[in-house]
Homo-oligomer: A and B are copies of this chain.
Amino acid sequence: MLNIQLLLTGNELMSGDIVDSNSAMIAQSLTKIGLAVKRKVAVSDDINDLIEEINAISIKADVLIVNGGLGPTVDDLTAEALAQVADVQITQHPEALTHITQWCERRNFKLNAPNLKQTMLPDGCDIVPNHLGSAVGFHLRLNNCDIYCTPGVPKELQLMLDKELIPSIESLLPEKSHHHVSRYQVFGIGESSLQKLVDEKIENWPESVELGFRASMPLLELKLTSKSAQAKAEKAECYEQLKALLGDHIVAQIDEVPLTFGDHLQALLREQGKKITFAESCTGGMLASAMTRVAGSSAVFDGSFVSYANHQKQAMLGVNEQTLVQYGAVSEQTVQAMAQGALVKTGADIVVAVSGIAGPDGGSDDKPVGTVWLAWGTSQSIQTVCLHIPANRYYFQHYVTAIGLDLARRLLLVSEETPRYITERQKS
């Protein structure tokens, strides 16, 4: 097993102003190739501390991943510290210069002195490409340790891990690992309920297949890992048993990069040549945004309404004043009229409408905070449901958005199952 250690640098990390999620990201990425982090150390942006740690770790570890300190400001000291430990000069690296020049050109930025600082790297190092940001990563072998210096910006780090670092570290391994991972996205059942269901319903789960999770909102990632070449068949069997248990709660199989509900829904709508629209009250634009974040959404989405106030539900969607007065904004009648209005106004094939009480204010005994009516369907048939999701505003809006998208997905699949979020949260 390789001895892999992390060194994290950053004043904001030490002050607690930011929570370190990068080291978890690195650890998870290493897990995919069957490796683990043995030790991690974090220090401030202090040149002497960095020198001391890099030196001490490089003597003991096989791999050192340094994260942070690649930026353009005087705080960013990683290159300087590594050069001092390696006893080499800092000079301008031609590949780094090319990278930053092109990076600035694409953005119409003028190359400035802080940018140029990012091209000054320890002599003898190799570049590790950064596919997003201005700061390249770099690699140097020292004291029999492979040292990789990586950016602190999470999106840049993730891409560098996936495309560069993990393949590079994998090549250090004596033989290819037999670990094989299949990933699925699941919606509507939590990690502990799912584990309990598996424990209760699936007998003789094989030891050679590991069931793992990566919690992410709203789609839970489920991971099946086979630990030997033979176990691949057993893994396929495990999946069949899971599929029988979970049905359409399994949204899709995915590669390494998680997909969003917007991705899944756009794919389904494209397959069927259909368009979707929304009439949103309590989600306030989040449904529309979930669709339009995905490139290519114009093929399946023409537009939608954020009808937040009652009079806008009338003006935008043609909901009757009488309906609003008699039943209220959060009611089956209103949400059904919103859905119908949006279909008529946009000419879309399917619709999701939501009206609820996101809180923290606006609740009543009858309709407490967390109450939400959803309507979804086509011009032929619109279904409705009332759920109760007692949670803070942030979680409520995100979860209701996910449920709205999932109901549209199930409609397109012509799924006859009742999802668990309805059986568990339906308001009688």
Contact = CB atoms under 8 A, between A and B. Distances in A.
A37 B43 CA distance: 8
Contacts of A397: 292-293
Interface string A24-59: 111110010000111111111000010000000000
A314 to B, nearest CB: 10
Contacts of A383: none
Contact of A14 (B20, B37, B196): B37
Contacts of A74: 195
A143 interface: no
Contacts of A224: none
A192 interface: yes
Contacts of A49: 38-39
Interface in A1-35: 11-12, 14-21, 23-28, 31
Contacts of A287: 285
A360 B294 CA distance: 10
Interface string A296-321: 11100111111111011001100000
A390 interface: yes
Q: Chain A: interface secondary structure? A: mixed
A274 to B, nearest CB: 14
Q: How many copies, total?
A: 2
B31 A14 contact: no
A346 B112 contact: no
B303 A306 contact: yes
A114 interface: yes
Q: Which of A221, A278, A358 has the most CB of B within 10 A?
A: A358
Interface of A: 11-12, 14-21, 23-28, 31, 36-44, 49, 71-74, 106-108, 112-115, 132, 153, 191-193, 195-196, 212-215, 221, 223, 278, 280, 283-289, 291-293, 295-298, 301-309, 311-312, 315-316, 345-346, 358-362, 388, 390-394, 397, 425
